[in-house]
Amino acid sequence: MAGKAAAAGAGVLLVTANVGSLFDDPENLQKNWLREFYQVVHAHKPHFMALHCQEFGGKNYEASMSHVDKFVKELLSSDAMKDYNRARVYLDENYKSQEHFTALGSFYFLHESLKNIYQFDFKAKKYKKVTGKEIYSDTLESTPMLEKEKFPQDYFPECKWSRKGFIRTRWCITDCAFDLVNIHLFHDASNLIAWETSPSVYSGIRHKALGYVLDRIIDQRFEKVSYFVFGDFNFRLDAKAVVETLCAKATMQTIRAADTNEVVKLIFRESDNDRKVMLQLEKKLFDYFNQDVFRDNNGTALLEFDRELSVFKDRLYELDISFPPSYPYSEDSSQGKQYMNTRCPAWCDRILMSHSAKELILKSENDEKIVIYDHIGPNVCMGDHKPVFLSFRIAAGAGKRCLRSEKIFRETTL
C-alpha cells in the first residue's frame, strides 16, 4: 500500500498486542515477536500504523526498564521501519503511582509518502501537524495530545493493584478524523467463580468498564468522530456454557478445602471409558484433555460462546473472526501453537469500531482481501497473547472531515 497516498485512500494497519511476556523473557521472545511484526508491516505496507500495547514492561516494570528502552529503540530505528519518518510513542512508565499506572504503550508510525497528517490537541482543541519522531512517557496525564484514564479501584475490588485503563488519541488523515483508543479491561480472577453463572460476574465488570470508555469518547467535550477501540478486552467465552457443552456426558466431582469447605477443584469424568478425566477446573487451572477443539477450524465451533460483545452491538462493530483464540498461549519459546492450561482459550485481543468507522474502510469489489482481520505469528511463540491486526484503507472523503468545526492549527507543529 505504501508509496504515494493515492486519491483512493491511505493504507492503515491497526495492531493490538499484550506484550507482558516479552519483558519477562526478552532474550527468547522479543526477537521472534519483532520479526513476525515486521513481516506483517512488509506484507501490508501501510501509510499509517498504530500499535497498541498492554502490559508494556511486563509484571515488574522497574526491573524491565532497560528492556523497554531497547524495544522502543528497535521499533523506531529498525531497517524494516526506515520509511516511517514520523512517529509518536506514548508510554505509561509511571509505575510508582497506584492511582494512575496503566502499563499501556501506544505507538504511531507515519510513512514518508503520507502528507498533511495531523494529531488533535485535546487541551487547545486544535489539530497540529505531525513532524519528526517523539517519545512521551512518565506522567502522560499532562500530555495534551491524548486522554488517559485508569479505571476506578471499585470497578474490580478483588484486585489490589489493577493496571487497567485506556489511552485515547485523535488523528486526521486524508482529511478524515477518527479516534484510536488503546484499552485493557479486567481479567477473570477465578475459573471457578466464572463458571458459577452465565454470564459471569467478571463479564459484568468488563461491560461496566467498556461502557464507561464509550460514554467518555462520545461525550460533549469534543466533536464526535468515528473511533476504533483495540486492545486486550479480556473477553472470555461463557464458561458455564462451554463446560456444559464440552462435558455434556460427564459426571462432576467436587473437591472442597478441609478447613473452609470452599470449592477448590472440579473434576469432570466420562461416564464410561474407564471414567477418563475430561476437564479439571481450579481457580487458575482449565485443563481440558483435547486442545484440538480450540484450534480446529480456528476454533470457530466455540464462537457461539463468545457473547460479551453482544451487549454493545448497537455501539460497536467487529469484522468476522477467522483466527483461533488469542489467549492463553504457552510462553515456552519452542511452542507456537500450544495453549497453557490456566484458562479456557478465548478471543481476548480484538479490534472494534464504531458503526460510522465502517465508512472509513474502503472495500474493493475487485479484491476481497483488501480488508484483513487476523492474528500475528500463528506458528511462533509470541508470548501468552497472539497480536491481532486489522489492515484496510481509509477512503478519501469518507467519514467526518477534520476541518468542519475543530480548526487545524497550521502554524504549530508537534
Burial 297-329 (b: 16+ CB within 10 A, else e): ebbeebeebbbbbebbeebbeebebebbbbbbb
Burial of 404 (0-12, 13-18, 19+ CB in 10 A): exposed
Per-residue pLDDT of the chain (414 residues; tens, 9 = 90+): 565 544 467 999 999 999 999 998 898 899 999 999 999 999 999 999 999 999 999 988 888 888 999 999 999 999 999 999 999 999 998 888 888 999 999 999 999 999 989 999 999 999 999 999 999 997 798 999 999 999 987 887 776 668 899 999 999 998 899 999 999 999 999 999 999 999 999 999 999 999 999 999 999 999 999 999 999 999 999 999 999 999 999 999 999 999 999 999 999 999 887 899 999 999 999 999 999 999 999 999 999 999 999 999 999 999 999 999 999 999 999 999 999 999 999 999 999 999 999 877 865 444 556 899 999 999 999 999 999 999 999 876 666 677 544 555 544 444
Sign of CA dihedral 247, 248, 251, 255: positive
- CA–CA–CA angle 218, 224, 225 (5° rounding): 110
Return d(Cα 316, Cα 324) in angstroms, integer.
Answer: 21
Q: Where are the beta strands (DSSP E) in 7-156?
A: 10-18, 48-54, 84-91, 105-111, 118-121, 126-129, 133-136, 147-150
pTM of this prediction? 0.94
Return d(Cα 5, Cα 138) in angstroms, integer.
Answer: 34
**3-class secondary structure, 293:** helix
- Residue 62 φ/ψ, nearest 5 degrees: -60, -40
Sign of CA dihedral 220, 226, 230, 233: positive
Contacts of 194 (CB under 8 A, 6+ apart): 188, 200, 201, 202, 236, 239, 240
pLDDT digit string, tens, across residues 69-88: 999 999 999 999 999 999 99
- Residue 246 φ/ψ, nearest 5 degrees: -65, -30
Task: Centre a 10 Å sphere on the Cβ of residue 41 and count the other Cβ atoms it contains.
Answer: 22
Q: Where are the beta strands (DSSP E) in 289-371?
A: 349-353
Contacts of 134 (CB under 8 A, 6+ apart): 87, 88, 89, 414
Spell out the domain ranges in the chain. Answer: 10-236+298-333+344-394
**Selection from 278, 282, 283, 169 nearest residue 228 by Cα:** 169
Name the CATH topology of 10-236+298-333+344-394: Deoxyribonuclease I; Chain A (3.60.10)
